[in-house]
Amino acid sequence: MASSSPKILTTTNHLRHVESMASLPSGAGKISHLNAVILGEALASEENDFVFPSDEFSRQALIPSPHKYLEMYKRSIEDPAGFWSGIASSQFFWKQKWGDQVCSENLDVRKGDIKIEWFKGGITNICYNCLDRNIDAGLADKIALYWESNEPGFDAHLTYSQLLHRVCQLANYLKSIGVRKGDAVIVYLPMLMELPITMLACARIGAVHSVVFAGFSSESLAQRIVDCKPKVVITCNAVRRGPKTIHLKDIVDAALVESAKNGISIDVCLTYENQSALKRESTKWQEGRDVWWEDVVPKYPTTCDVEWVDAEDPLFLLYTSGSTGKPKGVLHTTGGYMVYTATTFKYAFDYKESDAYWCTADCGWITGHSYVTYGPMLNGATVVVYEGAPNYPDSGRCWDIVDKYKVTIFYTAPTLVRSLMRDGDEYVTRYSRKSLRVLGSVGEPINPSAWRWFFNVVGGSRCPISDTWWQTETGGFMITPLPGAWPQKPGSATFPFFGVQPVIVDEKGTEIDGECSGYLCVKGSWPGAFRTLYGDHERYETTYFRPFPGYYFTGDGCSRDKDGYHWLTGRVDDVINVSGHRIGTAEVESALVSHPQCAEAAVVGVEHEVKGQGIYAFVTLVEGVPYSEELRKSLILTVRNQIGAFAAPDKIHWAPGLPKTRSGKIMRRILRKIASRQLDELGDISTLAEPGFLYVCLWRLLHFKP
C-alpha cells in the first residue's frame, strides 16, 4: 500500500524521508500527530509510540540529533570513498596508505564475478590498532579486559599493556611451531581471556583464525577442521557453565580422530588448563601432539614484531550454518572490517572513554568477533568477558556483574531478555544498575513486550536501546538506532547505519516504495562486507547475489511502516504460507509473547490438508502459570486480535522450555521435526544448552494431544 509519508527506498527517497523526520522538533508533546514519550518517563503501551532520548542524553551524544545523522548519512551515500577514507585515515594506523581507489565493487552477477574491495593496497594490522596504537595514545594502564568466572567471587583483569604482553607471547609461540601469514588456526575455547588473546595473536602474525563455538559437537568441529586445514588447534581441557562441567578436550580429541579419517591430521593441539573446571591429571592426553598452554606460552618474549598485511588479506573465517548441511566459511578481510566494526561500535553505542562495556555473546559467533574483541578494543574500550551462564547461580547474575564492574553499556540477545523477564522483576530490582546508560539487542527481532521490559525494568526507563540488525556476513551493524539521535519504536531497528542502503523488494526483485513488506536487500557495498565463502565463491554468488541481481540478498524479510521505520520479520525461510497468506513466524511469536502469561514462543509451519501450511506454536509460560484450555484459547485470541484470524495457531504445544544452543538461539530445525512428528530425524542435538527440555517436549507430544 502506498504511503503519504516520504519513503525510504532509493538514496534520494531515503534522504528525503530522513530530512522530513529531521525537521521535527525534539521532545515530547511537540509532535501533534504522534504519541511520544521521553526517556525517563514510563513507556506507554501503544506500539506506535515514539520514545525520545532525554535532552541531557542527546546533548552529550556523539550523534545528538536527526540533523547530525542526516548530514553524515548523506555524505556516506553520496561520497562513500571520501566518507570512509576520512575515518580510516584519521582514526587508524596504516603502514602504507591505499591507492587512488578506496572501493572497487561488482554486486551484479550479470556483469561478471562478484567482487568487493576496500582500501586495497593499504598496509595495516588490526592487532596493532587494537593494542599498540591505544598504548601509544596513553591507555597502557587502562583496563582492557575484566574477566568474570562462572563461579561468583573468581575474577581477573588485564590492562592494555598486560594484554599486549600476553598476545605477543602466544604469537611468538605460534610462530615457533611454524604458523605463518595466511595459515589457519582453529580456536575451540570458552569465554576465557585466552579467547580474545588468541584471536589477537593470530591477527598480529597474519594468521587466519577460525573460532568455533565451544558448544559445537565433535562432528561439527571436524567439518571445520577438514574445510580450513589448520596448522594448530587451540582449546582448553574443560569449562564450567552453570553447574555443569563440559569436557572440551574430549570433544576436540574425537574431532581430530574424525578429521584424520578425512585426510587432515593436526600435529599440535595447544590446550589451556582451566583449573576451575578440570585438573590436568584428569585430562586425557596424547603425547607428541598435545601441549599445555601454561607449559610453553609464558616462556616466550612479551614483544613480537607485527606482520603487516594488505587491507584485503584474510583476517578470519567464521562458519555459519547452511541450508545444504555443509557449513559456510564466511571470510572477512582486514582493513574494511577494521574500519567498519570500530565505527559501528562507536556510534551505535554512543561510546565514551569512561564506559565499561559488556556484550554477553560468545566469541564463537560474529557478535563476539565484532563487538567483544575488535570493535571495542579498536576504540580503547574496557570490556567485560563472562565465562558462565547468565542465570547462574540465579537469574540475578547479570545485574550482579553490571553492578560489580559498573557496566554502562549492556548488549545482549532478546532470548536472554525474555528468559530473564520470565523469571520475574525481583531478580533485577534487587540490584542498582544505576551505571547503565545504553542497552543493546542482537541476534533476532526483539518483540515489543520484551523491549518494554528491557527498557522499563532493566534500564529504569532511562536507557536507549540500540536494537541492532546485522549478520555474520555483514561484519557489523546495518540497521540500528543511534541512541542520542532518533526516536525509537519498541521492536523496530529504525534506520540504516552510515553507508548502508537497505531496499525492500518483491519476489521479482522490484524495489517497493512506501509502507510495505518484502525481501530485505542492500544496494552497494560497505567496508565490513564479507568477501567470499572460503573455497566456494560460486556458492557465495548463488546464495547472496543471484536471487536479486544487483543487490546483496540478506535472506531476511522486512516491513517498512508509514514513518519509514524498519521492522525485521525473520528469515524468509521462516515464512509460513497459510491459505495464500504469507506470515512471518516472528510476527506470530511476537503476538504470543505479548500475552502476559506467555514467557517465550517459537512458531513453525506444518503441513495442513486444507490450508497448505498450518501454524504450530511452542509456548513456554511464565513461571507458576498452569496450562489450561482457557489459556490456550486466550493465546489464540491474542494472535487473532493483533494479526488476524488467518494467523491464529492451529496447535499450541506447551513446552517447559525451548531447545536452544548455548548462545541462546532457538533451534527451530528441531521444532519443525517435532511438529511434523519426524522424531527419528532430529539430527545433531549436541549444541543444546538444556537437552532435558527437548525430552520433556517429546514426552508431551507422545502422551498428550497438543
Give me the active site residues, please: 573
Q: Which three cell numbers stand for residue 65?
A: 540529533
Per-residue DSSP letters for 14-46?
A: HHHHHHHHHTSPPSTT--TTS-EEEBTBPPPS-
- H/E run at residue 295: helix 293-296
Classify the phi-psi angles of 204: left when phi > 0, otherwise alpha if psi is within -120 to 50, otherwise beta: alpha
CB atoms within 10 A of CB 40: 15
Note whether 584 and 557 are within 8 A (CB): yes
395: phi then psi, degrees, rounded to nearest 5: -75, 5
Per-residue DSSP letters for 583-627?
A: EEHHHHHHHHHTSTTEEEEEEEEEEETTTEEEEEEEEEEPTTPPP
412 HSE (CA, 13 A, CB side): 27
| CA atoms of 118 and 23, how far apart (whole Å) | 34
Residue corresponding to grid cell 591505499 = 98
Question: How far, CA to CA in Å, does 163 sit from each of 157, 293, 541, 674, 698?
Answer: 9, 16, 39, 47, 47
| CA atoms of 451 and 454, how far apart (whole Å) | 5
Q: Which three cell numbers stand for residue 565?
A: 521505520
Note whether 198 and 187 are within 8 A (CB): yes
Q: Which three cell numbers stand for residue 191?
A: 569465554
Q: What is Dmax (Cα atoms) for the chain?
A: 74
Proportion of the chain in helix, strand, coil states, percent, rounded to 5: 35, 25, 40
Q: Which three cell numbers stand for residue 179?
A: 604458523
Q: Which three cell numbers stand for residue 628?
A: 489450561
130: phi then psi, degrees, rounded to nearest 5: -75, -35
Note whether 159 and 144 are within 8 A (CB): yes
E strand residue ranges, 60-120: 103-106, 115-118
Burial classification of residue 257, based on how many CB atoms lie within 10 Å of its CB (0-12 exposed, 13-18 middle, 19 or more buried): exposed
Say which amino acid occupies 380: G
Residue 575 forms beta bridges with which residues? 584
> Which residues lie closer than 8 Å to 489 by C-beta, 6 or more apart?
47, 48, 49, 50, 51, 561, 563, 565
| CA atoms of 533 and 22, how far apart (whole Å) | 39
85: phi then psi, degrees, rounded to nearest 5: -70, -30
- Strands 232-236 vs 184-188: parallel, antiparallel or unpaired: parallel
